[in-house]
């Protein structure tokens, strides 16, 4: 067996995680503070592994950070809206149903090219929501251009991008928790 694989793999994730200007994460945390102070919510959306990540992070925001957060991962919601409006429009329509003025929408897509996520981000901007995007792969991907704050992982490996996004998102959760404890 080649044990160097794991060392190189972990180095690539570490390099990706450390490549971000962390002031962007602080800006997201400030948006979350504003959302929470105004009794609004965070909406997290992704496909596949990014959807699983959205679920995990939404629960951590709600339970651990005490910031109201939801995700759109219910099979009946996705299949209903996808059936009625098309898969590329289901996030758009879910935002119509669930988003409120003052909410924060976080869109997660490794490629930054998923039509349903892009349409959702455009809808969120039209609704006046704050928009944060997490993407990877091509630095000029369409999702990256739609965020008030855009977070980009410089990798074309799905697992490296997803792990990087997950670490950054959970770091924001922990930052929000630490910030709240600092004030008490």
Q: Which residues contact 108 (CB under 8 A, 6 or more apart)?
A: 44, 45, 46, 50, 53, 54, 117, 133, 134, 135, 165, 169
CB-CB contact of 20 with 14 (8 Å): no
What pLDDT was estimated at residue 183?
59
What pLDDT was estimated at residue 62?
98
Domain CATH code at residue 156: 3.40.50.10490
| Within-domain flag for 62 | yes
What pLDDT was estimated at residue 136?
98
Question: Tell me, what DSSP letter sits at residue 73?
Answer: -
Pairwise CA distance, residues 6 & 62, whole Å: 34
What pLDDT was estimated at residue 180?
79
| Within-domain flag for 77 | yes
What pLDDT was estimated at residue 179?
87
Mean pLDDT by groups of 10 residues along the chain of 184 residues: 84 96 97 97 97 98 98 96 98 98 97 98 98 97 98 96 98 94 65
| Within-domain flag for 10 | no
What pLDDT was estimated at residue 133?
98
Q: Across-strand partners of 113?
A: none
CA atoms within 13 A on the CB side of 66: 6
Pairwise CA distance, residues 93 & 78, whole Å: 10
How many domains are contained in the chain? Answer: 1
| Within-domain flag for 115 | yes
CB-CB contact of 142 with 112 (8 Å): yes
What pLDDT was estimated at residue 14?
97
Pairwise CA distance, residues 159 & 61, whole Å: 23
- DSSP-H helix ranges across 3-114: 4-18, 23-37, 49-63, 75-85, 90-98
């Amino acid at each position: 067996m080649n044990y160097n694989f794991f060392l190189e793999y972990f180095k690539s994730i570490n390099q990706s995680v450390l490549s971000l200007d962390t002031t962007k994460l602080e800006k997201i945390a400030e948006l979350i503070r504003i959302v929470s102070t105004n009794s609004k919510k965070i909406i997290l959306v992704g496909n596949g592994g990014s959807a699983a990540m959205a679920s995990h992070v939404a629960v951590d925001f709600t339970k651990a950070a005490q910031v109201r957060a939801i995700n759109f991962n219910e099979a009946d919601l996705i299949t209903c809206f996808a059936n009625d409006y098309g898969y590329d429009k289901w996030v758009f329509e879910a935002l119509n149903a669930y988003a409120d003025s003052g909410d924060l929408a976080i869109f997660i897509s490794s490629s930054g090219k998923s039509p349903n996520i892009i349409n959702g981000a455009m809808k969120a901007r039209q609704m006046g929501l704050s928009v944060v995007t997490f993407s990877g792969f091509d630095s000029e991907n369409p999702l990256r251009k739609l965020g008030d704050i855009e977070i980009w992982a410089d990798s074309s490996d799905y697992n490296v991008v997803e792990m990087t996004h997950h670490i950054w998102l959970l770091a924001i959760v922990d930052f929000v928790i630490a910030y709240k404890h600092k004030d008490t």
